[in-house]
Amino acid sequence: MSTRRTLPPGARWITLPNGERRVELVLDIGTHPGTGARRQTRRRFRTVAEACDAHASTHSAVKSGSHVPTAALTLDDAADSWLAGKRNLKATTRGGYAHALEPVRAAYGAQSVQRLTKVQLDSLVTELMAGTLPRSDGRTRRPWTGRTVALMLHVLGQVLDDLVKQGRLARNVAALVERPRHRPPQHQTWTSDEVRAFLDTAKNDRLHVAWLLALYGLRRGEVAGLRWEHVDLDAATLSVVITRTVVDGLVIETDPKSEAGRRVLPLSGTLVAAFKDARRRQATERLALGAAYIESGFVVVDEAGRALHPQTLSAKFEVLIAAAGVQRIRLHDARHTAATLMHLAGEPVAVIAAWLGHGSAAFTMRTYAHSQAGALNTAAGTLDQVFGGNLVTSV
């Protein structure tokens, strides 16, 4: 007995210009409420089974009055639906995707997704890279880099490709747009002398421990999210368990970026002393404020015990850089500085990867041996030598 399925009513095989075969399904979906004209939906599928399923679901939706014509689906609706379906995304990743889609949604969000064209996207890319596209508040956006534009097209492509797979869109026009060339960002790093000069300026700063942690290789969110309960001064270790990051202007607490990001690091003698100074300082401030002091439990806090906003850390870092008179770098580049100095000191790349908590260090691990606890202790000694000569003061 043949198991071949027959085409559903309103379907036929067609051949596309590229030679591929598709099942084209045309169904009546009622009449237009304003004109009374008959409305139809036309969709294409790779298999008869997909066409049969679509026929059954569409017919049922039309009969129950719940069918929404594809032409009514806006780009905003499509983007919202796609983001809502990404249940396993971390909040930071979801926020990044939403941010990447902002320009195209601002320009064409209210437009039917069926009518989005390559010409529109090409024009948008040109404006973004030239910095001539106005924002919703009327101000002009800063020029986007090729990397950022490519991310926008990638995310938009996923939204449209999802609709194509559902049979709700004929093709993914984002895939037709040429990606702009872009160079990988060049991270600036400090030399050992610059690190010492900066730390000499920062040694009396109330956030001294934060700057040491950044130059120890921790991410900004890991520094901002470090709690006292995750610091063991007797064992001279700290555990990276929480990160405090900014998503859509709000600070959220999340797990580390990857499983490798959840790690335990040995503390250098310099850092142990800095942690003790920070704890004494907080005790003094707690005593001065009394009941007004907030017991947040974080290591990096303001004078009232409140956890600092990650962006505040970056701003304070820039102030200290100017005071130290060293090369201007981003706070995240302090992490790259730690990796570079350990590399120049001869630490194996596998150890550096484990130290930084990289989620994917396949090449490093294939080339070098897996990291061991003893090697991490050696790395701690390396950084302690880099920090050597910097006085740790008490409150």
391 has pLDDT over 70? no
Give the pLDDT confidence of 7-37 residue by residue, as tens digits.
888 889 888 766 778 888 888 877 655 456 6
User: Residue holding tokens 């030239």?
Assistant: 130
Q: Report the distance separating Cα 6 and Cα 23, nearest Å.
A: 11
Task: Say what the pLDDT of residue 365 is.
Answer: 38
Q: 317 or 345: whose pLDDT is higher?
A: 317
Give the pLDDT confidence of 335-375 residue by residue, as tens digits.
888 888 887 778 888 788 888 887 655 544 333 333 445 65
Give the pLDDT confidence of 136-176 residue by residue, as tens digits.
666 667 788 888 889 999 999 999 999 988 878 888 999 99
Q: What is the 3-state secondary structure (H, E, C) of 326-384?
A: CCCCCHHHHHHHHHHHHHHCCCCHHHHHHHHCCCCCHHHHHHCCCCCHHHHHHHHHHHH
Q: Report the distance separating Cα 232 and Cα 117, nearest Å.
A: 58
| Helices marked H in 86-227 | 91-108, 118-130, 146-165, 192-202, 208-215, 220-225
User: Residue holding tokens 């889609």?
Assistant: 101
Q: Report the distance separating Cα 53 and Cα 47, nearest Å.
A: 10
64 has pLDDT over 80? no
* Phi, psi of 151, deg, nearest 5: -65, -40
* CA dihedral sign, ordered 43, 44, 47, 48: positive
Distances from the Cα of 230 to the Cα of 119, 204, 280, angstroms? 53, 24, 17
312 has pLDDT over 90? yes
Question: How many other C-beta atoms are found inside a 10 Å radius of the C-beta of residue 142?
Answer: 10
Residue pair 390/270 in contact by the 8 Å Cβ criterion: yes
